[in-house]
Structure 1
Amino acid sequence: MATTFPEPKWAVPGLLAEGVNLLAGPPKVGKSWLSLGLGLAVASGGKAFEAIDVAPGPVLYLALEDTPRRLQSRMRKMLAGRPAPAALTLSTYCPTLTDGGDEAIGRWLERHPDARMVVIDVFAKVRGKAPVGLSAYDADYTAMSRVKHLADAYGVAIVLVHHVRKMASEDFLNTVSGTNGIAGAADATLVLSRARGTADGMLQITGRDVDEAEYALSFQPACGAWHLLDGPPEDHTLTETRAAIVRYVRANPGSNPKSIADGTGLSYDNVRKTCPRMAADGQLLADAAGRYRTPDSDRTETVPAVPAVPDHPLTCENATDRQGHPSLPGVTAVPVQHNAADGPGIPPTKQAPGPHPTQEVHPS
Structure 2
Amino acid sequence: MGERQTALRPVEVDRAQAGDAAGVSSYTYFTISAPRGQVGANGGMACSSATHCLARFLAGAPDADIEAIRASWPDCPIGDGKPDRAALQDWLHRLPDLARAVLAIDPSSPPPAADRRTSWSAGELLVAEFPEPRWVVPGLLPEGLTLLAGRPKLGKSWLALQLGCAAATGGHALGQDVPHQGDVLYLALEDAPRRIQSRMRDQSWPATAQVRFEFEWPDLARDGGLALLQDAIEAGRHSLVVIDTLSRAVVFDQNNVGESTFVLSSLQRLALDHGLGLLVVDHHRKPAANAADLIDDLLGSTAKAAVADCVWGLYRQRGQHGAVLKVTGRDLDDQEIAVEWDRDTCSWQSLGDAADVARAEGHRRVLEALEALGGEATTTQIARELDQNRGNVSRLLADLVQSGKAIRGQRQGREVPYTLKGATTE
Mark yes or no: TM-score above 0.5. Answer: yes
User: Residue 137 in 1 paired to residue 257 in 2?
Assistant: yes
Change (3 A) 1:216 1:266: farther
Q: Which amino acid aligns with 2:398?
A: Y
Mapping of 1:144-155 within 5 angstroms?
144-155=264-275
Change beyond 3 A, Cα 1:150–1:271: same
Structure 1 residue 41: Cα displacement: 0.5
Letter in 2 for 1:119: V
- Alpha-carbon shift at residue 96 of structure 1 (Å): 1.2
State the Cα deviation string for residues 320-353 of structure 1 (Å, max 9, x = none): xxxxxxxxxxxxxxxxxxxxxxxxxxxxxxxxxx
CA distance in 2, matches of 1:278, 1:159: 39
| Among candidates 216, 219, 227, match of residue 103 of structure 1 | 227
Q: Does 1:156 align with 2:276?
A: yes
Partner amino acid, structure 1, of 2:268: K
Larger gyration radius, structure 1 or structure 2:
2
Q: Does 1:118 align with 2:241?
A: yes
Q: Is 1:216 matched with 2:327?
A: no
Asked if the contact 1:196–1:237 (Cα under 8 Å) also holds between the matched residues in 2, the reply is no
Structure 2 vs 1, CA of residues 138 and 266 (structure 1 numbering), >3 Å: closer, same or farther?
A: farther
Does structure 1 conserve the Cα–Cα contact (< 8 Å) formed by 2:284 and 2:297? yes
Q: Which residue of 1 aligns with 2:33?
A: none
The equivalent position to 1:71 in structure 2, one of 161, 173, 196, is 196
The residue that corresponds to 1:292 in the other structure is 398
Match of 1:333 in 2: none
Q: Does 1:233 align with 2:341?
A: no
Instruction: Provide closer, same or farther for how the CA distance between residues 284 and 155 of structure 1 changes in structure 2, counting only shifts above 3 A.
Output: farther
Whether the 8 Å CA contact 1:62–1:120 is kept in 2: the answer is yes
| Higher relative helix content | 2
CA distance in structure 2 between the partners assigned to 1:125 and 1:176 by the alignment: 16
User: Against the structure 1 CA distance between its residues 224 and 135, is the aligned structure 2 distance closer, same or farther, given a 3 Å change threshold?
Assistant: closer
User: How far did 1:239 drift?
Assistant: 9.3
Cα pair 1:198 1:236 within 8 Å, conserved: no
Structure 2 match to 1:357:
none
**1:111 Cα deviation after fit:** 1.9
Match of 1:12 among 137, 147, 161: 137
| Structure 1 residue 93 corresponds to structure 2 residue 222 | no
The aligned runs of 1:309-324 (5 Å cut-off) are none
User: How do 1:1-364 residues align onto structure 2 when only pairs under 5 Å count?
Assistant: 1-49=126-174, 51-56=175-180, 57-79=182-204, 83-98=206-221, 99-113=223-237, 115-129=238-252, 136-168=256-288, 169-195=291-317, 200-230=322-352, 232-237=353-358, 240=361, 242-244=362-364, 267-269=375-377, 273-274=381-382, 280-281=391-392, 285=395, 292-293=398-399
Number of aligned residues: 269
Q: CA RMSD in A?
A: 3.2
Distance 1:265 1:226, change over 3 A: farther
SS in 2 for 1:174: coil
Q: Deviations over 1:113-150 (max 9, x none)?
A: 4x2111100011112346xxx97111111111111121
Question: Is the 1:196–1:238 contact (alpha carbons within 8 Å) kept by the matching residues of 2?
Answer: no
Deviation for aligned residue 1:267: 3.4
Instruction: Work out the CA distance in 2 between the residues paired with 1:182 and 1:43.
Output: 27
State how far apart, in whole Å, the 1-side matches of 2:255 and 2:298 are.
Answer: 18
Query: 2-side partners of 1:104 and 1:239: how far apart?
Result: 49
Structure 1 residues 261 and 221: alpha-carbon distance in aligned structure 2, compared to 1, 3 A threshold: closer
**TM-score where L is the length of structure 2:** 0.57
Deviation at 1:218, TM superposition (A): 1.0
Report the residue type matching 1:158 in the other structure.
Answer: L
1:110 Cα deviation after fit: 1.0
> Between the two proteins, what is the percent identity of the paired residues?
35
TM-score (norm 1): 0.66
Higher RCO structure, 1 or 2 (CA under 8 Å, sep 6+): 1
Q: Which one-letter code corresponds to 2:152 in the other structure?
A: P
8 Å Cα contact 1:97-1:146 kept in structure 2: no
* Aligned-pair CA distance for 1:63: 0.6
Change (3 A) 1:135 1:30: closer
Question: CA offset at residue 43 of structure 1?
Answer: 0.2
1:216 Cα deviation from its structure 2 partner? 0.7
- After TM superposition, give the deviation of residue 217 of structure 1 in Å: 0.8
Give the C-alpha shift of residue 278 in structure 1: 5.2
- Listed one character per residue, the Cα deviations across residues 47-95 of structure 1 (whole Å, up to 9, x for unaligned) are 113x21011121111110001111111112112xx53234211111111
Instruction: Look up the equivalent residue of 2:355 and give its one-letter code.
Output: E
Distance 1:269 1:11, change over 3 A: same
What runs of 5+ residues in structure 1 fail to find an aligned partner? Answer: 249-259, 298-364
Unaligned 5+ runs, structure 2: 1-125, 404-426
SS state at 1:172 partner = coil
Report if the CA contact (8 A) 1:197-1:239 is conserved.
no
